[in-house]
Structure 1
Amino acid sequence: MSHTVAHVPPPLHGCVVLVVDATTGVGRRVTSQLCALGAAVAVVGAGHPGRDDDAATNAAFLCKELAGIGLVALPYQADVERPESFGALTGQIAADLGPVTASVVVVPSASGGEELAPAFRVLSGVVAASLPGGAEHIEVDVGHEGFGLEEAAQAVVERLVRLHERWRTPSG
């Protein structure tokens, strides 16, 4: 007797998500979890003043790490000090991975500098405005009191899974 096993795609299969500040903290957790659930993730590292690292290199290393375990993530580059540079990302991502269905922008805490959080909120608005119709935009404010990294990441992922389930379910 032969048994046929139906292939069930991962919950976020077909979902393309842009994650800004994706290489550390909440952003890295969100990126890893989304990839593990089948999403293709556009990874944007975001340089922070006073941090001695290269955001683009960090994004490339994270994508290589995820690809090494069979997950889909591609690195992209934009300049936090030039928010308009984020406006072109959705077009680049659509050409590489498909239309962006959601974006997540992690707004850093005030410890990164007083001007950093407002700058990220501005670029978050640019990203939201550049999304195709029907795409979801989530802004995660890690400076919010009592905001645990793990809980924040899990809340974002759960929200996107619920939304993706609604997108895939035909309306009757």
Structure 2
Amino acid sequence: MSHAESYAPEALEGRVVLVVDATTGIGRIITIRLCAAGAKVAVVGAEHRGRGDDAATNAAFLCKELAEIGMIALPYRADIERADTFRTLPAQIAADLGSVAVCVVVIPAAPGTGERTAAYRSMSATVAAALPPGARHIEIDMADCTEGHEEAAHGLVDQLLHCRPQSC
């Protein structure tokens, strides 16, 4: 977690960011960088058939690691095959952390038929529709990502750091 010193702590101070599929790969990197920049992050481990681990447990462990170094992140669980779990997510997060200002959804590059990708896109649309007015929705499709995870995460967080709170 050496990335924690990379950003000024006040840059996103107090802003609530929802990160879906936040426990591995680019989602994890984005989560750590956002926390380091002062955001309060809702860490969602996206459950789905075929996942080889427990996303909710991964989210809890990541949040515990971040809390141990003074960052604010809370774990949430949602199942990409159950839209209702994403429809209610922004309201749950608002009750715990405050109104969601930004939502980042990582769509993994899924091998095979693309059913999982379609499920992620559907889930992303569901959560986007449930966001409060003015909240920003960002979708990262890993199939289109030509950069490495570190570079893509840097780019996204830098983009959020340089926009005014009213416009993000």
> What is the TM-score normalised by the length of structure 1?
0.87
**CA-to-partner distance for each residue in 1:66-95, whole Å, 9 max, x for gaps?**
001100000011111112310101001001
Change (3 A) 1:10 1:18: same
Change (3 A) 1:146 1:21: same
2:100 aligned counterpart, secondary structure: coil
Change (3 A) 1:135 1:112: farther
2:139 aligned counterpart, secondary structure: strand
Identity %: 59
Contact 1:21–1:44 (8 Å) recurs in 2: yes
Corresponding residue number in structure 1 for 2:103? 103
Matches of 1:81 and 1:114 in 2, distance apart?
14
Amino acid at match of 1:127: V
Which of structure 1's runs of 4+ aligned residues deviate more than 6 A? Answer: none
Matches of 1:78 and 1:120 in 2, distance apart?
11
Q: Does 1:73 align with 2:73?
A: yes
Change (3 A) 1:73 1:53: same
What is the CA-CA distance between 1:168 and the residue it aligns to? 6.0
Structure 2 runs not aligned, ≥5 long: 1-7
Q: Does 1:138 align with 2:138?
A: yes
Corresponding residue number in structure 2 for 1:115? 115
Pairing of 1:27-38 with structure 2 (within 5 A)? 27-38=27-38
Matches of 1:69 and 1:36 in 2, distance apart?
10
Amino acid at match of 2:151: E
Structure 1 runs not aligned, ≥5 long: 1-7
Corresponding residue number in structure 1 for 2:125? 125
Contact 2:48–2:79 (8 Å) recurs in 1: no
Corresponding residue number in structure 2 for 1:20? 20
Change (3 A) 1:38 1:111: same
Change (3 A) 1:54 1:107: same
Matches of 1:167 and 1:21 in 2, distance apart?
24
Corresponding residue number in structure 1 for 2:3? none
Change (3 A) 1:145 1:100: closer
After superposition, the CA RMSD in angstroms is 1.8
Amino acid at match of 2:159: R
Pairing of 1:51-62 with structure 2 (within 5 A)? 51-62=51-62
What is the CA-CA distance between 1:148 and the residue it aligns to? 1.7
What is the CA-CA distance between 1:112 and the residue it aligns to? 7.3
Give the number of equivalent residue pairs.
160
Change (3 A) 1:52 1:112: farther
Give 1 or 2: higher strand fraction: 2
Corresponding residue number in structure 1 for 2:41? 41
Q: Which has the larger radius of gyration?
A: 1
Matches of 2:139 and 2:57 in 1, distance apart?
24
Contact 1:59–1:76 (8 Å) recurs in 2: yes
> What is the TM-score normalised by the length of structure 2?
0.89
**CA-to-partner distance for each residue in 1:8-50, whole Å, 9 max, x for gaps?**
8610002100000000001000000000000000000113443
1:137 aligned counterpart, secondary structure: strand
